[in-house]
Amino acid sequence: MQYSKLGKSDLEISKIGFGCMSLSGNTKENEQIIEKAVELGINYFDTADLYEHGENEVKIGNLLKLKRDQVIIATKVGNQHRADGNGWDWNPKKEYILSAAEGSLKRLQTDYIDLYQLHGGTMEDPIDETIEAFEILKQQGKIRYYGISSIRPNVIREYVQRSGIVSVMMQYSLLDRRPEEESLELLQKNGIGVLGRGSIAQGLLVDKPAASYLNWSAEEVAHAAEIVHSITGRNSSSAQTAIRFVLQNQALNSAVMGIRTQAQLEDIAAAVNFPQLTVQEMDLLLRVSPAHYYLAHR
């Protein structure tokens, strides 16, 4: 496994992160896959209080409590479940964030959260109040660092200018290069780390039947998958190629992947062991999804 420092923090995170929302097996199966992930060098585990009404945090707390000194635990806040259990509402207010952090700490069975992320964000939020909540939690030692999970350039810019975020989690793949337009250069310039999600575009670049995706037609998606497959070597996989494309961007610290089986885990973790894609391979991939595509199709 390879590692990189997340922004201005002292968190050395694995180039492959584990997206915990995907864990769906029984307790024994989940124990085995987490054990194997740690064995393979994955140390970044990402969850959220929204997932499974908080039960995903409970699950991760149980699975990682004996490995706490070996792992980096990240969770998210901002989506408040309704009292009747019917959905949730966006709540970035200080009082709620401080209260929600206590719940996450308890469910995760830990005294501190390594990376606490705002799970979204809009320009209508009380941003200074939101930032104050994270700063208070940091001063109290309940979180080590904080970041946001957002694809919105205007929101990202506000937090870059006004807060002490160390990271931004955003969707980024061959089929979604929007971050290249306004965000990645800004974040890299300001020493803020990037956590990529959706690297294989919901499996469409790997093994799922072609379907429309964002502004792409099913035919365009099929063509992109064909190109990925065509440059994938005999001893590698399409998933590894898609992940290598993401990690080849120097702004990216980690590709956070949803992993359900040990076979998937071993395949994904091995992506970092291959050399970088060649200039010719990158040229083929970049022709599939020119960055200006999204500007032209908004």
Categorize the per-residue pLDDT at 32 as very low, low, confident or very high, splitting at 50, 70 and 90.
very high
Average pLDDT estimate for 159-164? 96
Categorize the per-residue pLDDT at 236 as very low, low, confident or very high, splitting at 50, 70 and 90.
confident
Distances (CA, A) of 207 to 64, 189, 194, 203, 293: 31, 36, 26, 6, 24
pLDDT of residue 52: 82
Please indicate, yes or no, whether the overall pTM of this predicted structure exceeds 0.85: yes
Categorize the per-residue pLDDT at 84 as very low, low, confident or very high, splitting at 50, 70 and 90.
confident
pLDDT of residue 83: 79
Main-chain phi, psi angles of 121, to 5 degrees: 135, 140
Residue 291 has pLDDT above 70, yes or no: no
Write out pLDDT tens, residues 164-201: 999 999 999 999 999 998 899 999 999 999 999 999 99
Categorize the per-residue pLDDT at 298 as very low, low, confident or very high, splitting at 50, 70 and 90.
very low
Residue 252 has pLDDT above 90, yes or no: yes
Active site residues: 51
